[in-house]
Amino acid sequence: MSPRDLAIADLTMREAARAASGKRVDLLLVAEMVAPGSRVLDVGCGDGELLELLATTRGCDARGIELSREGVNAAVARGLAVIQGDADIDLADYPDDSFDYVILSQTIQATRRPKWVLEQMLRVGRSAIVSFPNFGFWRMRLDLLVNGRMPRTDNLPYGWHDTPNIHFCTVRDFVELADEVGARIEHAAALDGAGQKVRFNLPWGVWNLLGEQAVFMLTRKG
Amino acid sequence: MADGTASFVDIAAPELARGEADRPHSAVARFGAEAPLLLDAGGVLSPFQIAYQTYGNLNAARSNAILLCHALSGDQHAANVHPVTGKPGWWETLVGPGKPIDTDRFFVICSNVLGGCMGSTGPSSLDPSSRAPYGLDLPVLTIRDMVRAQAMLIDHLGIETLLAVVGGSMGGMQVLQWAASYPERVFAAFPMASGARHSAQNIAFHEVGRQAIMADPEWRGGRYLTEGANPRRGLAVARMAAHITYMSDSSLHRKFGRRLQDREGRTFSFDADFQVESYLRHQGEAFVDRFDANSYLYVTRAMDYFDLAADYGGVLANAFKGTKTRFCLVSFTTDWLFPTAESRTVVHALNAAGASVSFAEIDSDKGHDAFLLEEPELFAITRGFLDAAARAVGVA
Q: What is the pLDDT along chain B (396 residues), one digit of tens a residue?
A: 333 333 333 333 333 335 788 789 999 999 999 999 999 999 999 999 999 999 999 999 999 999 999 999 999 999 999 999 999 999 999 999 999 999 999 999 999 999 999 999 999 999 999 989 999 999 999 999 999 999 999 999 999 999 999 999 999 999 999 999 999 999 999 999 999 999 999 999 999 999 999 999 999 999 999 999 999 999 999 999 999 999 999 999 999 999 999 898 899 999 889 999 999 999 999 999 999 999 999 999 999 999 999 999 999 999 999 999 999 999 999 999 999 999 999 999 999 898 999 999 999 999 999 999 999 999 999 999 999 999 999 998
Cβ atoms of residues B23 and B9 within 8 Å: yes
Residue B54's identity, in one-letter code, is T
**CA B293 to CA B252: how far, in whole Å?**
26
A81/B387 touch (CB, cutoff 8 Å), yes or no: no
Query: pLDDT band at A191, cuts 50/70/90?
Result: confident
Contact of B358 with chain A, judged by CB distance below 8 Å, is answered with yes
Q: Beta strands of chain B (E only): which ranges?
A: 27-31, 37-38, 44-45, 48-55, 65-69, 95-96, 101-102, 107-111, 126-127, 132-133, 162-168, 186-192, 326-332, 356-362
A79 contact residues in B (CB cutoff 8 A): 384-385, 387-389, 391-392
Query: What pLDDT, on a 0 to 100 scale, did the predictor assign at position B175?
Result: 98
Cβ atoms of residues B312 and B142 within 8 Å: no
pTM for the structure as a whole: 0.89
Query: What pLDDT, on a 0 to 100 scale, did the predictor assign at position A23?
Result: 57
Query: What pLDDT, on a 0 to 100 scale, did the predictor assign at position A8?
Result: 36
A93/B348 touch (CB, cutoff 8 Å), yes or no: yes
Segment A8-19 mean pLDDT: 39
> What Cα–Cα distance (Å) separates residue B80 from each residue in A45, B54, B94?
40, 10, 12
ipTM above 0.85, yes or no: no
A76/B347 touch (CB, cutoff 8 Å), yes or no: no
Whether residue A19 is predicted with pLDDT greater than 80 in this model: the reply is: no
Average of per-residue pLDDT values in chain A: 85
| Strand duo A39-43 + A99-105: pairing | parallel
Looking at A68-77, A151-160, B184-193, which range is the least confident one?
Answer: A151-160
Contact of A57 with chain B, judged by CB distance below 8 Å, is answered with no
Q: Please name the residues in contact with B252: beta carbons below 8 A apart, sequence gap of 6 or more.
A: B244, B276
Contact of B381 with chain A, judged by CB distance below 8 Å, is answered with yes
Among B361, B384, B388, the residue with its CB nearest the CB of A84 is B361
Q: Which secondary structure element, helix H or strand E, spans residue A125, and what is its range?
A: strand A125-133
Q: How many C-beta atoms surround the C-beta of residue A188 within 10 A?
A: 26
How far away is chain A from the Cα of B356, in angstroms, using its nearest Cα? 6
> What Cα–Cα distance (Å) separates residue A7 from each residue in A197, A198, A201, A206?
10, 10, 8, 14
A93/B351 touch (CB, cutoff 8 Å), yes or no: yes
Q: Is B7 a catalytic residue?
A: no
Q: Beta strands of B309-355 (E only): which ranges?
A: 326-332
B358/A72 touch (CB, cutoff 8 Å), yes or no: yes
Whether residue A11 is predicted with pLDDT greater than 60 in this model: the reply is: no
Q: How many C-beta atoms surround the C-beta of residue B178 within 10 A?
A: 27
DSSP state letters, A19-32: HHTS--HHHHHHHH
Q: Is the peptide bond before B47 cis (omega within 30 degrees of 0)?
A: yes
Best CA proximity match to B114, nearest among B154, B73, B150, B78: B150
Q: Is B289 a catalytic residue?
A: no
Contact of B354 with chain A, judged by CB distance below 8 Å, is answered with yes
List for chain A the helix, strand, coil content (%; round to 5). Answer: 40, 25, 40
Looking at A14-18, A217-221, B58-62, B133-137, which range is the least confident one?
Answer: A14-18
- By the 10 Å C-beta count (0-12 exposed, 13-18 middle, 19+ buried), A131 is classed as buried
Share of chain A above pLDDT 70, in %: 89
Residue among B25, B70, B82, B368 flagged as catalytic: B368
